[in-house]
A and B are shown apart, each in its own frame.
Chain A
Amino acid sequence: MNDLLDAFPVEESDVDRLRGRLAAAAEAEGILDVAYRTVDTPVGPLLLAATEQGLVRVAYPNQGHDAVLQALADRISPRVLHAPARLDPVARQLDDYFAGRRRRFDVPLDWRLSTGFRSTVLHHLAADVDYGRTASYAALAALAGNPKAARAVGTACATNPLPVVVPCHRVVRSDGTAGAYRGGPEAKLTLLALEHRTLAAS
Chain B
Amino acid sequence: MAEFGPTVLRVVRAVLGPADADDAWSETFLAALRAYPQLPAGANVEAWLVTIAHRKAVDVTRAAARHAVPVADPPETGAEADLPDLDLVAAVAALPPKQRQAVAYHYLTGLPYAEIAEILGGSADAARRAAADGIAALRRTIGANR
Binding site for B on A (CB under 8 A): 1, 3-10, 12, 14-15, 18-19, 21-22, 25-26, 29, 31-32, 77-79, 81-82
* Given the contacts A15-B5, A15-B6, A18-B22, A7 and B36 also touching, CB distance less than 8 Å: no
Chain B interface size range? 20 to 34
Contact (Cβ within 8 A) B92 A79: no
Contact (Cβ within 8 A) B9 A7: no
- A22 CA to B103 CA, complexed, in Å: 27
* Given the contacts A1-B138, A15-B9, A22-B26, A79 and B2 also touching, CB distance less than 8 Å: no
Residues of chain B with a CB closer than 8 A to A9's CB: 84
Return 23 A-B CB contacts under 8 Å, by A number: A1-B138, A3-B88, A4-B108, A5-B10, A6-B84, A6-B85, A7-B14, A7-B88, A7-B89, A9-B84, A12-B6, A15-B9, A18-B29, A19-B2, A19-B5, A22-B26, A22-B33, A25-B26, A29-B30, A31-B30, A31-B33, A78-B1, A82-B2
- What's the least CB distance linking A81 to chain B, in Å? 8
* A contact patch SS: helix
Selected contact of B26 from candidates A4, A18, A82, CB within 8 Å: A18
- What's the least CB distance linking A69 to chain B, in Å? 9
- A18 CA to B4 CA, complexed, in Å: 13
Contact (Cβ within 8 A) A8 B108: yes
